[in-house]
């Protein structure tokens, strides 16, 4: 060990060809070595026995593994070099301390960027005050509802969304349509979406249109295809994405300048139908929930390149939410935060897709069953998505795309550079 350390120290002692920071670190290491040897083997370094601070002869044996030969050489033969080493130590210390303090003072931008959560369900265990505290903790400037969960005999989904909006003001955008659609489907089945005009569909669309007119409000998550991806049995089916209901809904949302979020697994027929819908209504905007849920990056790329009116949210495509589903279907997991077993990351084909279309992606938290999972989801978004992207793209994905698409108000200086909402137009 001692021989190896000595050889290594000798190798490191050739600083001329090394870059400056490396030389400084080397000098610091060598100087520390010298101090250790002075403490434990003063005789080898030529110190007088009276001034010896080390524990005596036994220390000489302990010293050998520390390659004191090199340190003694520095001490005896080259006093001027020792001075140089001390100066280097000071420089190296300042350099290292500077790096550490700079990191403390300025954490990576991805860790602190303001966020707009564009896909969120207010769960039954959450209160608006809880949510506000969590948003403040994570610098989430806006939360956009995809449809709240109601609490029977206490509050309907719409009332719960309204409660959150009352507290959070412009920072919480309530939704309309999720549970209205769900209940209408439970009543009349899938003919709600596919048959020729029916009173139920007309009534449902009239209600959504009326609610959307009360701004701010957005269309909730619609579910044309959740064959293998919904906790609600009613939604585990595939219906035509370009059927009459979705066509009319896109028209209604377009009038209010709102996108229609669609939870649509990437079944070949569903993709063809979505393509038809987007082509037939180029002014309507579809926000693909979970970016297609089980989609491959190459298939989403084709759609984004073909349809400028298609956007993606990355909710439920990262750890921890997508981890369990990814055991059956690995395609469902796109990104993850760092853990004991792996560093944070994003699948390269997805990272490239986002970089190639930086204006089309947003982040979302979706439905979580504890605040701990909420926290972990935000961490995965920051570490597994934003930190993997170039700074300009990360900023767009974190909040700028959402500010533009949903015409969000910039609430304070935290969103430095965000345009005032009044000057923005939905694409």
Question: Quick one: which H or E segment has residue 403?
Answer: helix 401-406
Shortest separation between residue 367's beta carbon and Zn ion, angstroms? 6
Exposure letters 16-40 (e unless 16+ CB within 10 A, then b): eeeeeeebbbbbbebbebbebbbeb
Would you say 49 and 43 are in contact if contact means Cβ atoms under 8 Å apart? yes
Around 214, how many Cα atoms within 13 Å sit in the side-chain half-sphere? 10
Identity of the residue, 119 or 171, whose beta carbon is nearer to Zn ion in the bound complex: 119
Q: Rounded to whole angstroms, how far apart are CA atoms 126 and 315? A: 19
Shortest separation between residue 18's beta carbon and Zn ion, angstroms? 54
Shortest separation between residue 93's beta carbon and Zn ion, angstroms? 52
Footprint of Zn ion on residues 2-41 (CB under 5 A)? none
Query: By CB under 5 A, which span of 5-13, 358-366, 393-401, 409-417 interacts with Zn ion?
Result: 358-366
Question: Scanning the structure block, which residue is given the tokens 């340190």?
Answer: 71
Long-range pairs for 403-407: beta carbons < 8 A, 24 or more residues apart: 403/116, 403/142, 405/118, 405/259, 405/285, 405/287, 405/311, 405/362, 406/116, 406/118, 406/142, 406/144, 406/173, 406/218, 406/258, 406/259, 407/257
Shortest separation between residue 373's beta carbon and Zn ion, angstroms? 14
Across 1-137, the runs of DSSP E, i.e. the strands, are 115-120
Footprint of Zn ion on residues 205-224 (CB under 5 A)? 221
Identity of the residue, 211 or 289, whose beta carbon is nearer to Zn ion in the bound complex: 289
Q: Is 226 in the site for Zn ion (CB under 5 A)?
A: no
Count of residues engaged in binding Zn ion, rule: CB under 5 A:
3
Identity of the residue, 148 or 285, whose beta carbon is nearer to Zn ion in the bound complex: 148
Identity of the residue, 31 or 317, whose beta carbon is nearer to Zn ion in the bound complex: 317
Shortest separation between residue 407's beta carbon and Zn ion, angstroms? 21
Q: Rounded to whole angstroms, how far apart are CA atoms 319 and 9? A: 44
- For residue 117, what are the β-bridge partners? 143, 363
Footprint of Zn ion on residues 323-352 (CB under 5 A)? none
Identity of the residue, 226 or 385, whose beta carbon is nearer to Zn ion in the bound complex: 226
Footprint of Zn ion on residues 133-162 (CB under 5 A)? 146
Interface mask toward Zn ion for 92-131; x: CB under 5 A: ----------------------------------------
Shortest separation between residue 317's beta carbon and Zn ion, angstroms? 12
Shortest separation between residue 289's beta carbon and Zn ion, angstroms? 6
Identity of the residue, 114 or 147, whose beta carbon is nearer to Zn ion in the bound complex: 147
Identity of the residue, 27 or 287, whose beta carbon is nearer to Zn ion in the bound complex: 287
Identity of the residue, 85 or 178, whose beta carbon is nearer to Zn ion in the bound complex: 178
Exposure letters 162-184 (e unless 16+ CB within 10 A, then b): bbbbeebeebbbbbbbbbbbbeb
Which position among 242, 366, 376, 395 is part of the footprint of Zn ion (CB under 5 A)? 366
Shortest separation between residue 4's beta carbon and Zn ion, angstroms? 58
Shortest separation between residue 290's beta carbon and Zn ion, angstroms? 7
Count CB atoms within 10 A of the CB of residue 290.
28
Query: By CB under 5 A, which span of 83-91, 294-302, 364-372, 403-411 interacts with Zn ion?
Result: 364-372
* Among the listed residues 387, 398, 388, 409, the one whose alpha carbon sits nearest the alpha carbon of residue 359: 398
Can you give the binding site for Zn ion, defined by CB under 5 A? 146, 221, 366
């Amino acid at each position: 060990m001692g021989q190896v350390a000595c050889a290594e120290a000798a190798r490191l002692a050739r600083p001329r060809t090394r870059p400056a920071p490396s030389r400084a670190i080397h000098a610091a290491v060598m100087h520390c070595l010298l101090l250790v040897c002075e403490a434990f083997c003063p005789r080898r370094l030529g110190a007088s026995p009276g001034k010896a601070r080390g524990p005596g002869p036994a220390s000489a044996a302990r010293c050998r593994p520390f390659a004191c030969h090199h340190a003694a050489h520095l001490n005896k033969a080259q006093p001027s070099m020792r001075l140089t080493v001390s100066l280097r130590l000071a420089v190296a210390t300042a350099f290292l301390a500077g790096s550490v303090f700079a990191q403390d003072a300025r954490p990576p931008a991805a860790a602190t960027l303001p966020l707009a959560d564009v896909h969120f369900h207010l769960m039954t265990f959450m209160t608006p005050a809880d949510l506000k505290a969590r948003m403040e903790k994570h610098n989430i400037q806006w939360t956009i509802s995809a449809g709240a969960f109601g609490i029977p005999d206490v509050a309907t989904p719409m009332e719960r969304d309204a409660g959150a909006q009352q507290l959070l003001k412009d920072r919480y955008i309530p939704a309309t349509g999720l549970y209205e659609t769900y209940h209408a489907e439970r009543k009349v089945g899938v003919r709600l979406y596919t048959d020729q005009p029916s009173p139920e569909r007309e009534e449902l669309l009239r209600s959504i249109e009326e609610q959307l007119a009360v701004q701010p409000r957005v269309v909730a998550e619609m579910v044309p295809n959740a064959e293998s991806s919904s906790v609600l049995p009613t939604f585990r089916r595939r219906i035509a994405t370009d059927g009459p209901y979705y066509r009319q809904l896109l028209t209604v949302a377009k009038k209010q300048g709102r996108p229609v979020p669609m939870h649509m697994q990437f079944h070949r027929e569903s993709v063809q139908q979505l393509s038809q819908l987007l082509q037939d209504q180029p002014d309507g905007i579809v926000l693909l929930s979970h970016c297609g849920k089980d989609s491959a990056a190459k298939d989403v790329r084709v759609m984004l390149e073909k349809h400028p009116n298609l956007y993606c949210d990355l909710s439920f495509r990262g750890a921890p939410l997508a981890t369990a589903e990814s055991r059956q279907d690995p395609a469902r997991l796109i990104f993850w935060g760092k853990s004991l077993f792996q560093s944070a990351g994003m699948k390269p084909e997805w990272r490239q897709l986002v970089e190639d279309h930086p204006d089309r992606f947003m982040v979302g938290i979706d439905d979580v069953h504890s605040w701990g999972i909420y926290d972990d989801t935000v961490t995965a978004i920051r570490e597994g998505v934003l930190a993997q992207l170039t700074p300009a793209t990360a900023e767009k994905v974190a909040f700028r795309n959402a500010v533009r698409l949903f015409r969000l108000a910039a609430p304070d200086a935290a969103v430095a550079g965000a345009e005032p909402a009044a000057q923005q137009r939905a694409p």
